[in-house]
């Protein structure tokens, strides 16, 4: 009998999930649907958080709806990287992905696999915020102009349903 010592047993795990945004993240996502970037101002330290978070990190303050502030959909690049190579394994069959990520609205978004390169991952200081919104700059024309300090503006998706990528990407202005 062969030893089978170096056999491997192959497997694949697919589990559906549904994550609860709650009130604060929920408001932020609702804002994106309406082409608005909403921030949340801590009443204790006055810091404005965008994107949303439930808690002011330093103050341990729990944000309430009344802390919401509407910000422009533009800002300044604080840091970035242009992604030229895809280091991920090939995207699996869409059928497999749809099973892995049950809320079907998310399937169209690169939840587990990044977009096809090239694109830039950017940290954008939204005007009026004190935090950096991690998002994308896309398109060779934009990538060529991208610098720390570049002014960028949101490019909104055509179909917006209250997800992070309702804001499709930022473009350099």
Partner 1 sequence: MGRRVAVVGVGMTENKSHWDCSMPALYRLAVTRALADCGLTHRDIQAISFGHSPEYFEGINHPEKWLAEACGGYLKPVFRIHTGGTVGGSAAIGGYYLVASGMFDVVMAVSGNKLNETASAQIGLGTVYDPIIGRQFNTGAPSAVALQSLRYMSKYGYDEDYGIRAAVQNRQNAMNNPYAQLKIPGYNFEMAKSTPMLCYPLRLADMCPTSDAACAMIFVAEDRVKKITDRPAWVKGTAAVSAGVYYADRDWAVPIELRKAAEIAYKQAGIKDPLKELDVIELYNAFSWQELVWYEGIKLCDWGEGGRLFDKGITAMTGSLPSNPSGGVLCANSIGAAAMFRKAEAALQVMGKAGARQVQGAKLSLGHGWGGAIQFHTIMIFGSEK
21 binds partner 1 (CB under 8 A): yes
Among 79, 49, 86, 75, residue whose Cα is nearest residue 64: 49
Query: In this structure, are residues 49 and 42 in contact, taking their beta carbons and an 8 Å threshold?
Result: yes
Please report how close the Cβ of residue 1 comes to partner 1 at its closest, in angstroms. Answer: 18
Figure out which of the listed residues 45, 96, 102, 134 binds partner 1, where binding follows CB under 8 A.
Answer: 102
Figure out which of the listed residues 11, 89, 90, 144 binds partner 1, where binding follows CB under 8 A.
Answer: 11
54 binds partner 1 (CB under 8 A): yes
57 binds partner 1 (CB under 8 A): yes
Question: Which residues, at least 6 apart from 24, have a Cβ–Cβ distance to it below 8 Å?
Answer: 40, 52, 53, 54, 63, 65
Figure out which of the listed residues 43, 62, 72, 117 binds partner 1, where binding follows CB under 8 A.
Answer: 62
Among 70, 64, 81, residue whose Cα is nearest residue 122: 81
Please report how close the Cβ of residue 102 comes to partner 1 at its closest, in angstroms. Answer: 7
Figure out which of the listed residues 1, 13, 85, 87 binds partner 1, where binding follows CB under 8 A.
Answer: 13
Write the burial class of residue 163 (CB in 10 Å: 0-12 exposed, 13-18 middle, 19+ buried).
middle
Q: Which is nearer to partner 1, 19 or 88 (CB)?
A: 19
């Amino acid at each position: 009998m062969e030893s089978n010592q170096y056999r491997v047993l192959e497997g694949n795990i697919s589990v559906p999930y549904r994550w609860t945004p709650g009130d604060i993240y929920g408001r932020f996502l609702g804002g994106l649907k309406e082409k608005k970037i909403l921030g949340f101002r801590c009443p204790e330290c006055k810091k404005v958080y965008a994107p949303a978070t439930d808690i002011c990190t330093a103050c341990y303050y729990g944000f309430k709806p009344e802390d919401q502030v509407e910000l422009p959909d533009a800002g300044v690049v604080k840091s970035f990287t242009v992604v030229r190579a895809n280091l991920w394994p090939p995207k699996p069959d869409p059928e497999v992905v749809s099973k892995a990520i049950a809320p079907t609205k998310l399937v169209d978004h690169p939840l587990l696999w990044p977009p096809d390169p090239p694109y830039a991952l950017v940290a954008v200081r939204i005007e009026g915020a004190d935090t950096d919104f991690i998002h994308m700059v896309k398109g060779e024309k934009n990538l060529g102009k991208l610098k720390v300090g570049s002014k960028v503006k949101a490019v909104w998706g055509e179909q917006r349903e209250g997800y992070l990528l309702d804001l499709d990407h930022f473009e350099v202005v």
